[in-house]
Amino acid sequence: MLEQLGIATLDDLKPNSRVVITRVDINSPVDASTKIVTDDSRIREHSRTVKELSGKGAKVVILAHQGRKGDPDFTSLEQHAKILSGILSWPVRFVPDVAGEEAKGAIKSMKPGDVLMLDNVRFLSEETAERSPKEHSRGTLVSALGPLADYFVNDAFAAAHRSHASIVGFAAVLPSAAGRVMEKELAALSKVAGKPEKPSVYVIAGAKPKESFKVAQHVLSNGIADDVLTGGLVANVFLKAKGFKLGEANEKLLDQKGFAQFVSGAREMLGRFPGRIVTPVDLAVEIQGGRSEIAVDDLPTNHYIKDIGKKTVELYGRLLMQAKSIVVNGPLGVYEEDNFSLGTREILRVLTKTEAFSVVGGGHSLAAVYKFGLEKKLPYVSTAGGALISYLSGEALPGVEALKAASKKFS
Ligand code: 3PG
């Protein structure tokens, strides 16, 4: 049991010979032309939950999504089943159906320990309707599969911000528990997002100011973070709000991306939380393909800003070394380009040296962690993107709320 949240875990189930509908989030990067999955890290993560359930004699029915309707990565889960089978060294049967006769027949014929993957749950249009658990429990998916199952396990923390049928519907009708990934994410995040050990520092960077501002507002207003260190385009917005002129190319980029609208909000935040939002003191710009560093006092520049500078790395490093809890969300520069990866890499390296508990998360941060080979050296790396932002912004996640409500029935 996850005590502070009142959520049951796999330890509370008796899965032997029982049908366990297991929602995982194996939504993976897919090559747009070949449709081949290019990164199996989420499949690897969830394989632990599947292995444990199957090892305990459950009949594991996996539900998952891939992509969004209309997008190039909206594909069948056939290859995900093969990849999972390879990771588990155990057969994973795939049926190209979600809630029809083929899916139901496959579930009925399962034996203890069997693993079955149904097709992309988003092939059912009702899946993505944002409805309440009760409403979803009366829909096609839950009405078809619910009566065949004994338990529901939600392991899909990364999709828990969606009130989708497969995320919330089964929890309304079946004894439900968090899988190991969900459990691990909630345990780690509660350490940095509830009442973190102080000082607590959030590094908020990347190219999504709207989401970043939501997180910054929440953690600063609620005394969760003592300092917010900024990087990436988020830092450019704050620098502009402080009155720095970034130069034509950079200002144009902010306009094109629609980020200029956040400048007045950033100014207001700087006024509300004086000295607590830290911006870079120097920056790396691109000159003829190379890296060149300038102090922010030398702004404006005619060149694109692509990273924080070395003095900023030192400053942020010092602040992080004093912290007891750290969150890093978003890269501090264009880490994909070797000339501009220094800021992101060095800040992540600091996390491997401090005693602080840290969480790194968000799609791009995760990719950066892997690029620099730091995945095993960091205390906690989250696989979530949007769900992490919602959680860090203090929003209730429908998938987690549904598990809490279901766990009450459970006991
Ligand atoms: C993710 O990759 O963040 C999750 O799988 C959720 O996907 P979605 O944003 O398409 O709902």
Instruction: Assess whether the C-beta atom of 158 lies below 6 angstroms from ligand 1.
Output: yes
Please report, for residues 208, 230, 247, 253, 282, the alpha-carbon distance to residue 257 in angstroms, rounded to integers and kept in the order given: 10, 18, 16, 6, 23
Q: What's the predicted TM-score (pTM) here?
A: 0.93
For atom 11 of ligand 1, which residue has the closest CA? 159
Instruction: Assess whether the C-beta atom of 164 lies below 6 angstroms from ligand 1.
Output: no
3-state secondary structure the chain: CECCCCECEHHHCCCCCCEEEEECCCCCCECCCCCCECCCHHHHHHHHHHHHHHHCCCEEEEECCCCCCCCCCCCCCHHHHHHHHHHHCCCCEECCCCCCHHHHHHHHCCCCCCEEECCCHHHCHHHHCCCCHHHHHCCHHHHHHHHHCCEEEECCHHHCCCCCHHHHHHHHCCCEEECHHHHHHHHHHHHHHCCCCCCEEEEECCCCHHHHHHHHHHHHHCCCCCEEEECHHHHHHHHHHCCCCCCHHHHHHHHHCCCHHHHHHHHHHHHHCCCCEECCCEEEEEECCEEEEEEHHHCCCCCCEEEECHHHHHHHHHHHHHCCEEEEECCCCCCCCHHHCHHHHHHHHHHHHCCCEEEEECHHHHHHHHHCCCCCCCCEECCCCHHHHHHHCCCCCHHHHHHHHHHHHHC
Q: How far is the CA of 397 from the centre of ligand 1 (A)?
A: 13
Instruction: Assess whether the C-beta atom of 68 lies below 6 angstroms from ligand 1.
Output: yes
Domain boundaries, the chain: 10-182+396-410, 198-355
Architecture per CATH, 198-355? 3-Layer(aba) Sandwich (3.40)
For atom 9 of ligand 1, which residue has the closest CA? 386
Q: How far is the CA of 45 from the centre of ligand 1 (A)?
A: 16
Q: How far is the CA of 401 from the centre of ligand 1 (A)?
A: 18
Instruction: Assess whether the C-beta atom of 159 lies below 6 angstroms from ligand 1.
Output: yes
Instruction: Assess whether the C-beta atom of 25 lies below 6 angstroms from ligand 1.
Output: yes
Q: What is the pLDDT of residues 58-83, one digit of tens each?
A: 999 999 999 999 999 999 999 999 99
Q: How far is the CA of 24 from the centre of ligand 1 (A)?
A: 11
For atom 8 of ligand 1, which residue has the closest CA? 159
Q: What is the pLDDT of residues 280-289, one digit of tens each?
A: 999 999 999 9
- Determine the atom of ligand 1 nearest the C-alpha atom of 27: 5
CATH number of 10-182+396-410: 3.40.50.1260
Query: What type of residue is 376?
Result: K
- Determine the atom of ligand 1 nearest the C-alpha atom of 25: 5
For atom 3 of ligand 1, which residue has the closest CA? 385
Assess contact for 198 and 325: CB atoms under 8 A: yes
For atom 2 of ligand 1, which residue has the closest CA? 27
Instruction: Assess whether the C-beta atom of 364 lies below 6 angstroms from ligand 1.
Output: no
Q: What is the pLDDT of residues 169-217, one digit of tens each?
A: 999 999 999 999 999 999 999 999 989 999 999 999 999 999 999 999 9
- Determine the atom of ligand 1 nearest the C-alpha atom of 128: 11
For atom 6 of ligand 1, which residue has the closest CA? 159
Q: Which residues of the chain have pLDDT under 50?
A: none
Instruction: Assess whether the C-beta atom of 121 lies below 6 angstroms from ligand 1.
Output: no
pLDDT at 410: 63
Q: How far is the CA of 110 from the centre of ligand 1 (A)?
A: 29
pLDDT at 367: 85
Q: How far is the CA of 386 from the centre of ligand 1 (A)?
A: 7
pLDDT at 411: 55
Q: Which of 37, 45, 162, 364 to mutate to test the pocket of ligand 1 (most atoms within 8 A of CB)?
A: 162
